[in-house]
Chains A and B, each alone.
Chain A
Amino acid sequence: MSVSHAPPDTSLPPPLPPSLERVVPLGSRRSWSPRWLRRAWGPVLLLVAWQVASATGVLRPDTLGSPGAMAATARDLLADGTLPSAMLVSVRRVAVGLLVGVVAGTGLALVSGLSRLGEDLLDATVQMLRSIPWVGAIPLFIIWLGIGEAPKIALIALGVAFHLYLNVYAGIRGVDPQLVEAGDSLGLGRWGLVRHVVLPGALPGAMTGLRYALATAWLALVFGEQINADDGIGFLMNQAREFLRTDVIVVCLVVYAVLGLVADFIVRSLERLLLQWRPTFTGQ
Chain B
Amino acid sequence: MATDLHGPVTPSAGTGPAAVRVSGLTRSFGDRAVIDHLELSMGQGEFVALLGRSGCGKSTLLRVLAGLDREIAGEVFVPRRRAVAFQAPRLMPWKRVWRNVLLGLPGRPDRARAEEALREVGLGHRTDAWPATLSGGEAQRASLARALVRAPDLLLLDEPFGALDALTRITAQRLVAELWQRRGCAVLLVTHDVEEALLLADRVLVMDRGMIAYERTVGLERPRDLAGPGFAALRAELLGRLGVEGAVSGARDTPETDGGPPRQPASATPEANGGLIRPTASDTPETADGPRAAPVSA
A interface vs B, CB < 8 Å?
178-179, 181-188, 192, 196-197, 200-201, 203, 276-279
Docked-complex contact B94 and A185, CB < 8 angstroms: no
Inter-chain CA distance A35–B86, complex, in Å, is 44
B104: chain A residues at CB < 8 Å are 183, 186-188, 192, 196
User: What 5 pairs across the A-B complex have the smallest Cβ distances?
Assistant: A186-B104, A182-B90, A200-B94, A187-B104, A277-B94
Docked-complex contact A277 and B68, CB < 8 angstroms: no
Inter-chain CA distance A201–B63, complex, in Å, is 23
Known pairs A178-B88, A200-B92, A277-B94; A183 contacts B130 (CB<8 A)? no
Task: Give residues of chain B (58-114) contacting chain A, Cβ–Cβ below 8 Å.
Answer: 63, 66-68, 82-84, 86, 88, 90, 92-96, 103-106
Candidate in B83, B94, B132 with the most chain A CB atoms within 10 angstroms: B94
Docked-complex contact A187 and B132, CB < 8 angstroms: no
Residue A188 contacts which of B68, B83, B103, B132 (CB distance < 8 angstroms)?
Answer: B103
Docked-complex contact B92 and A181, CB < 8 angstroms: no
Residue B146 at the chain A interface, CB threshold 8 Å: yes
Q: Which residue of A lies closest to B63 (CB)?
A: A181
B284: chain A residues at CB < 8 Å are none
A197: chain B residues at CB < 8 Å are 92
Docked-complex contact A196 and B103, CB < 8 angstroms: yes
A183: chain B residues at CB < 8 Å are 92, 103-104
Docked-complex contact B93 and A277, CB < 8 angstroms: yes
Docked-complex contact A181 and B68, CB < 8 angstroms: yes
Residue B133 at the chain A interface, CB threshold 8 Å: yes
A188: chain B residues at CB < 8 Å are 103-104
Docked-complex contact B88 and A196, CB < 8 angstroms: no
Q: How far is the CB of B258 from chain A (nearest CB, A)?
A: 34
Known pairs A179-B92, A196-B92; A276 contacts B130 (CB<8 A)? yes
Inter-chain CA distance A192–B95, complex, in Å, is 14
Inter-chain CA distance A278–B86, complex, in Å, is 22
Q: How far is the CB of A180 from chain B (nearest CB, A)?
A: 10
Inter-chain CA distance A278–B93, complex, in Å, is 7
Residue B94 contacts which of A184, A203, A279 (CB distance < 8 angstroms)?
Answer: A203
Residue B83 contacts which of A179, A185, A200, A279 (CB distance < 8 angstroms)?
Answer: A185
Inter-chain CA distance A154–B125, complex, in Å, is 52
Docked-complex contact B90 and A277, CB < 8 angstroms: no
Q: How far is the CB of B181 from chain A (nearest CB, A)?
A: 24
Q: How far is the CB of B81 from chain A (nearest CB, A)?
A: 9
Q: Which residue of A lies closest to B66 (CB)?
A: A185
Q: How far is the CB of B67 from chain A (nearest CB, A)?
A: 8
Q: Beyond the given A187-B150, A188-B103, A196-B92, please list 15 additional residue pairs across the A-B interface where CB-CB is below 8 A.
A: A178-B90, A181-B63, A182-B84, A182-B92, A183-B92, A183-B103, A185-B86, A186-B104, A187-B104, A188-B104, A200-B92, A277-B131, A279-B130, A279-B132, A279-B133
A196: chain B residues at CB < 8 Å are 92, 95, 103-104
Q: How far is the CB of B43 from chain A (nearest CB, A)?
A: 23
Q: How far is the CB of B152 from chain A (nearest CB, A)?
A: 10
B106: chain A residues at CB < 8 Å are 187
Inter-chain CA distance A157–B63, complex, in Å, is 45
Docked-complex contact A277 and B103, CB < 8 angstroms: no
A276: chain B residues at CB < 8 Å are 130
Inter-chain CA distance A186–B95, complex, in Å, is 14
Inter-chain CA distance A178–B86, complex, in Å, is 10
What are 7 sample pairs from A and B whose C-beta atoms fall under 8 A apart?
A178-B88, A181-B68, A182-B92, A183-B103, A185-B66, A277-B94, A277-B96
Q: Which residue of B lies closest to A189 (CB)?
A: B104
B83: chain A residues at CB < 8 Å are 185-186
Contact with A along B199-222 (1 / 0, CB 8 A): 000000000000000000000000
Q: Which residue of A lies closest to B94 (CB)?
A: A200
Q: How far is the CB of A158 from chain B (nearest CB, A)?
A: 31
B96: chain A residues at CB < 8 Å are 277
Inter-chain CA distance A138–B66, complex, in Å, is 56
Residue A182 contacts which of B86, B105, B130 (CB distance < 8 angstroms)?
Answer: B86
Docked-complex contact A185 and B132, CB < 8 angstroms: no
Inter-chain CA distance A186–B82, complex, in Å, is 9
Q: How far is the CB of B268 from chain A (nearest CB, A)?
A: 29
A200: chain B residues at CB < 8 Å are 92, 94-95
B132: chain A residues at CB < 8 Å are 277-279
Inter-chain CA distance A277–B94, complex, in Å, is 5
B92: chain A residues at CB < 8 Å are 179, 182-183, 196-197, 200
B82: chain A residues at CB < 8 Å are 185
Inter-chain CA distance A201–B104, complex, in Å, is 17
Inter-chain CA distance A185–B147, complex, in Å, is 10
Candidate in A178, A181, A186, A277 with the most chain B CB atoms within 10 angstroms: A186
Inter-chain CA distance A183–B66, complex, in Å, is 12
Inter-chain CA distance A188–B106, complex, in Å, is 9
Docked-complex contact B103 and A185, CB < 8 angstroms: no
A186: chain B residues at CB < 8 Å are 83, 103-104, 146, 150
